[in-house]
Each structure stands twice: as C-alpha cells, then as structure tokens.
Amino acid sequence: MRKILKRVLLIDDNEADNFIHKIFIQKHGGVEETVAVTSGQKALDYLSSNQTGSYPRPELIFLDINMPRMNGWEFLEEYKKLDDEQKGGVVVVMLTTSLNPDDKKMADGDGNVTEFMNKPLNIEKFQSVLEKYFPDRLD
Amino acid sequence: MTKKTLDRAAKINLLVSLVLVLLLAIILETLIRERRTDAAVINLSGRQRMLSQKIAKGIYTTSLGLTSIQEIKNDAETWTLVHDGLIYGNDSLGLPSLTDQDLLSLFKQVEPFKKGLLRVVAQINETTQITPSMLNEVERNEQAFLSLMDEIVFQAEENYNRSIFNLRLWTLVLSILVIVSLVVLYFNLVKPIIRELSRAEGSLMRSRQSLEFFVKHTPAAVAMFDLKMDYLFASDRWYVDYGLEGRSIIGKNHYDIFPEINEIPEWKEIHQRILKGETYKTDRDRFDRADGKVDWLKYELLPWRDDNGEIGGMIMFTEVITQQVEMQLELERKARELEKTNEELKHFIYIASHDLQEPLRTTLSYSDLLLNEEFNSDEQVKQQSLRFIGESVGRMSTLVKGLLDYSLIGSDNNFEQVDCQLLAKEVFNALEQKDRIDVSIEVENLPVVSGSKLELTQLFHNLIVNSIKFVRPNVPCLIQISAERTNGYWIFTFSDNGIGIEEQYFKQIFKVFQRLHSKDRVEGSGIGLALSKKIVEHHGGEIWVESELNKGTTFYFTLVG
C-alpha cells in the first residue's frame, strides 16, 4: 500500500495498548514509521530530539489521557511550549471511557487537540482519521 | 397612717409648739417688766425715806448754820417730785402710775404727813427763826412718814415676791405645756415615721427574700456578683451545673471559684465591659475546665443597678449545653465522615470504570485479536497477546484484592496494645525471608500503641514495601524507622534513601490507584499508600510525606500512644 503518513506517535503508559495499536496501524499499512512511548515525558523527549538535522514531527499523535505522573492534559501543557518546528500535526486524544464533560471543556480550550476517540484504536477508526484530516493524500 | 395625715399632724403640732413658746415669751416679758417696777418702787421708796430724814436733819441744823436753806428746799422739791412719781408715774424715773390698791391706800395715808413736813419747809427762810413748835411739827410728821414708808417698802417687797412666784409658776406651767407638746409631737409624728420606716424595711426584706428564693430555685444556672466579682447569690442549678455542691461560694470571688477563667482573658475583659454597662450574649462558648473537661455554655451577662441607678455588679444567666454541643459535634463529625465515605465511593466508581476496565478492555482486545484470522497466524503476535492477557488478569486480581483490603479497613475495631518495635521487626523479617531483599533497616525505640494489630501490620508492610520498590539504582536501600512523642501523640518517621517524590505529588500519592510510575517500571496495585492513609486515619492519626528527588522519602504518621 502507498504510504500516506511518514510518522505516527503513540503515547500511552499501557504497553499492551501500544502494542495492539501498533499492530493495527501496521496492518493498515498507510504509515511508514510508528513510534510508541510509555509516558508524556518520553514523548516530549522524542519530539525535541534532533538526530539527523531535523525533528521527528509526527503527522499524527495518539495521546492517552489516563497516565500516571504526567497525564495527557499535563503533556499538552508542555507540548504547547515546544517550538512550532518540534510540534507534530494532528493530535488525537484517546479516552478509556466516554468523554466526561470536564475533559471536554478542557480540550475545547486547547487549540492543539483536534480529535477525540475512544479506546481501543482499530483499523476502521484509523482509516476514518486519515479520511478526515488527510483527504488530499488518499486519492 | 398616710403621708398626708402625717404631714398635717406635724404641721399642727409645730404650730402649737410655736404658739406655746411665743406665749411663754410674752408672759415672761410681762412678768419681768412688772418685777422691774416693783424693784424701782422699793428702791425709790427707800431713797424717799432717806431724803425725808435728810430734810428733817437739815431743818434741825439750819439754825446752827450747818445747812443752807436753799439746799433744804432743793431736797424737798426732789422729794415731792419722786413722791408724786411713785403715785402717778414718771417716765424719766421709769415709773408707771400706781395701780396696786394696797400701796395706793398707804400713799393716801402718807399724804398729810408729807404735806405737814412740806408746810414747815415752806415756812422757813433766811430770816425765819426755827421755833420748837416747828421742830416738833417736823419730828411728828417725819416719824409718821418713816413708818408709813417702811410699810410701803414692805408691801412692795411682798408684791415683788408674789410676782417672782407668779413668774416661776408660769414658767413651770408653760414649760410643762411645751414638754407635753413635744411628747405629742413625738407620738404623733416621730413614732409613726419610725413605724412606717420599719414596715418599709420589712417589706424590702421580704421582697429581697422572695427574690432570693426565686433565684435559688430557678431551673437555670444564675448567679449575681458585685463590682469585685464576688458572689452575692447563686441558684441551686449553678451549684449543680458547675460541680460546686456543698461548697460555700457566697462572698467569694468568681475567679477564685473558677481559677481556669484566669486562662481566658477574653472572658475577664467581657466581665469588665459588663460592669461598665454593656450586655453580652452568646449561644455557644467553650469553657476549658480546670480538670481538663470541656464544657460548652450558652449565656447572657447583664449589669444590675442599685436604687440610684449605679451599676452594682453583674448577673449571669448560663446554660451548660455540653451534651447538646457534643451531640452536635458528633453529628457534624458523622456528617464529615459520611461525606468522606461518599467521596470514597465516588472514587471507587471512578476506579471501577477506569482502572478495572483497563485490564478488562486489554483482555478483550487481545482475545479479539487472537480470534482474528488476519492476525493470529503470526506466532509473535499470539505469544504477546497471551502475555498481555495474562498480565491484565493478574493486574485485575491485584486490583480487586487491593480494593477488598481497602474496603475492609476500619472494620477491625478490636484495638489492643501493639508493640510497634516488635511489629516492625516481624514485618521486615517476613519480607526478607519471602523476597530475599537486599535492604538494611534501623528501628529505634518504637512505642506500644493502642490499635488493630492486623491493620498496623499492613501499614508497616506497605511502607516498607514502598521504600523497597522505589530504590535508586545502585544505591543499597536503607530504611530508618523512629518515633517521637509530641502533644499526646506519637509521630512516627519512616525514612528511605530512594528515588524520592516531587512535591506536587505529595497529596496525590495517597489516593486509590494513583500511580506515579508506568506499569512497565514498577509493579504494584497503586493502592498501598491509600491503604496506609486509611489505616492511620482509622487510628485517629494523620499521614503525610516529605521528600527530595534522588535523596529519599520520609513518611510521617501520628498514632495515639
């Protein structure tokens, strides 16, 4: 399959979730590289790492909210402070259960959040995200 | 007797006394003047007698040239003037006209002899020869005159004595009358006033007694104080409510009876304000008693005033509402407890929906994956899936067990004396045998406390395990446990030299399932510290943490000794 996205970042403390999400994205086949990290701090480290003269800048980030120490919201606070050239593209917030009103309010005030999605991610959900945010690359 | 009749009686009495005194003065004045006239009559009559003798002697001696005729005639003139004055009165001599009949008749008898003597005086002149018949005439008239004048003096003296007697009599009578008037005044006025006063005093005493009776038996704790805060009286209830039965407090100072008030300067200040005229009322105030008991009071303080409107002291109306307040406080405590339980319950629901659902969802996802032919052909995927399913189920089991432990805390109320020194060593030895850990522990003089042995074991276990779990790589784990006594509590100190916790997480770590570390780094249910907190709180204590990153963590908790 033709590669639609170059890089996708998964941020989730749950190793099992990361593993299965990775399997689905790989099965989907539209992504060149899928990187999974287990904490917000590791994600920030990854995003600001400069290995080959440029930053990773994943076009799509899946962010788990319910994480110990630095949760998804706290990660977003730090994410905002990154340079624009370090930031990725679309940020999809992953929720364990349905969205509660407080979280929704919090996300509405955050310009970096573009989408909400309930766990777990599967091939169909991933396809719909691509169709919504990257329609021009799909033809 | 009414005030009006008393007033009238007093006025009449005073008027009578005044009239009597005036009368006495007039009578005395009259009598004294009369007596003065008598004295003048006596005095002048004596002088007339002497003058008549001088005239007679003058006539005898004139022929011898010893007395001048002119001198005799002058004497005779004076003698006549005074004589007429005695009878008819003469202002220049201070004589009134004579009214006394006895004296008047005596003066009538004297008249011919006076004239006889004057006739002889008239006959003589420078050329006249004094004849024996003339001398005879002088002798006869003068003798008669002298004896009659003696009689007049005698009579005047008698009059004088009589008027003295009258004076005495009148003085006596009037004095008696004045005395009688004064006696009447006493009985009419002074006596009724005294009677009225004593009656008023009696009724005052009776009203005071009934007031005291009323206060004594009033079903409230009431006390009355003077300006020095000495007790004037207090109700029976005052003695009962404040444990003063059998003690005598009247006349004693409030602050001596309750020395603990000296520790409450606000109260003394309020008392001073009351004594300056303010009032004070409160529905609930705490009273720390000398024996350590806490009483709750509802009271009102008022100044009381004497007849002149001056503040005489203070009245305290108090009600001991300790039982009521304790019940209220207990109720408030229960309400807080309930609120906390509700909070916990909410948290439980959150946990059930998130933390328990997470391993469930993982299990479900991987079982789906295994059933999906697109994926299950891959041996690596199969192996991983089974591993994650196993881990999720294990984790679920740990969570459920943790929740069960958590829910059971607070149900063991069989408190016993627990030797913490022994307990810490037992827990540590058990862990060491089971896990062969490389940890050194220093336990220092831990006290014996009252508590649930089961729960305290769990507490020590959790804290030791927590320290072991968060060791710094390549730093041998050292745990130090000690205790210190402060304010009736034991403060336990649980220190390690592990990785430490950032300050922002000091509160969060005590919540159920709040984990600071990814599951891939440190294993645990995330319930250990929440359990520890609940155990300490069940024992009436508090738990908190202090820590520095990469230095170590110290947990503190208090237990009642």
pLDDT band at B267 (very low <50, low <70, confident <90, very high): very high
Q: Are residues B20 and B167 in the same domain?
A: yes
Residues B115 and B226 in one domain: no
Domain boundary among B320, B339, B364: B320
Averaged pLDDT of chain A: 85
Which of B362, B505, B516 is the closest to A16 by Cβ? B362
Q: CB distance B519–A14 less than 8 Å?
A: yes
Span B444-456, mean pLDDT? 91
pLDDT of residue B521: 45
Q: What is the CATH number of the domain that holds B48?
A: 1.20.120.230
B128 with B24, same domain: the answer is yes
- The segment with the largest mean pLDDT, out of B2-6, B112-116, B153-157, B547-551, is B547-551
* B54 pLDDT higher than 70: yes
Q: CB-side exposure of A137: number of CA atoms within 13 Å?
A: 16
- The per-residue pLDDT for B222 is 93
Which of the two residues, B502 and B188, has the higher pLDDT score? B502
**pLDDT of B527 strictly over 80:** no
Per the domain annotation, does B203 fall within a domain?
no
Report the candidate in B470, B516, B524 with the shortest Cα–Cα distance to residue A41. B516
Domain enclosing residue B272, as ranges: 218-320
Phi, psi of A48 (to 5 degrees): -95, 10
**Rounded average pLDDT over A105-118:** 73
Give the strands of the sheet with B280-288, arranged side by side: B231-234, B221-226, B311-320, B294-305, B280-288
Give the best-scoring range by mean pLDDT among A105-119, B5-19, B414-428.
Answer: B414-428
Q: Choose between A12 and B340: higher pLDDT.
A: A12
Of B362, B366, B519, the CB nearest to A13: B519
| Count of positions (residues) in chain B | 561
Whether residue B25 is found in the same domain as residue B154? yes
CB contact under 8 A, A27 and B514: no
Q: Is residue B212 part of a domain?
A: no
Identify residues of B whose CB sits under 8 angstroms from chain A CBs: 353-354, 357-358, 361-362, 365-366, 369, 374-375, 381, 384, 388, 391-392, 505, 514-520, 526
Residue B360 lies in a domain: no
Q: How confident is the model at residue B520 (pLDDT cuts 50, 70, 90)?
A: very low
Tell whether B435 and B537 lie within a shared domain. yes
B96 & B12 share domain: yes
What is the average pLDDT across B374-403?
Answer: 87
pLDDT of residue B515: 60
> B18 and B56: one domain?
yes
Is the confidence at residue A45, as pLDDT, over 60?
A: yes
B123/B265 same-domain check: no
Does residue B38 belong to any structural domain of this protein? yes
Asked, for residue B67, whether it belongs to a domain, the answer is yes
Token pair of B532, please?
A: 């520890």
Residues 6+ apart with CB under 8 A from B145: B49, B52, B110, B113, B114, B117
Sign of CA dihedral B373, B375, B378, B379: negative
Measured in angstroms, the CA of A41 and the nearest CA of chain B are apart by 11
CA distance B497 to chain A (A): 20
Question: Per-residue pLDDT averaged across B375-399, rounded?
Answer: 89
- Omega before residue A58 within 30° of 0, cis: no
Average pLDDT of every residue of chain B: 85
Interface A–B counts its CB contacts (< 8 A) at 56
B456 has pLDDT over 50:
yes
DSSP helix/strand/coil, B100: coil
Report pLDDT digits (tens) over B7-31: 787 788 778 878 888 888 888 788 7
Q: Are B268 and B123 contained in the same domain?
A: no
Residues B14 and B154 in one domain: yes
* In chain A, where the domains are located: 39-55+64-139
Rounded to a whole number of angstroms, the distance from the CA of B549 to the nearest CA of chain A is 14
- B225 and B255 in contact (C-beta within 8 Å)? no
Chain B partners of A13 at a C-beta cutoff of 8 Å? 518-520
Residue B274 pLDDT more than 90? yes
| Domain topology for A39-55+64-139 | Rossmann fold (3.40.50)
> Is B232 in the same domain as B302?
yes
**pLDDT, mean of residues B40-60:** 84
pLDDT of residue A23: 92
- For residue A11, list chain B residues with Cβ-Cβ distance below 8 A: none
Distance CA B133, CA B141 (A): 12
Instruction: Give the pLDDT band (50/70/90) at residue B423.
Output: very high
Number of domains in chain B: 3
Tell me if B358 and A96 make a contact (CB, 8 A cut-off): yes
Q: How confident is the model at residue B277 (pLDDT cuts 50, 70, 90)?
A: very high
The CATH number of whichever domain residue B313 belongs to comes to 3.30.450.20
Q: Which residue has the higher pLDDT, B104 or B2?
A: B104
Residues on chain A touching B361 (C-beta within 8 angstroms): 96, 119-120
pLDDT score of B68 more than 50 = yes
- Asked if B384 and A19 come within 8 Å (Cβ–Cβ), the reply is yes
Q: How confident is the model at residue B144 (pLDDT cuts 50, 70, 90)?
A: confident
Q: Which of chain B's residues have a Cβ under 8 Å away from the Cβ of A119?
A: 361
Q: Do the domain assignments include residue B354? A: no
CB pair distance less than 8 Å for A14 and B358: yes
Q: Are residues B161 and B290 in the same domain?
A: no
Question: What pLDDT was estimated at residue B256?
Answer: 93
Residue range B502-523: average pLDDT?
68
The rounded distance, in Å, linking the Cα atoms of B217 and B204 is: 20
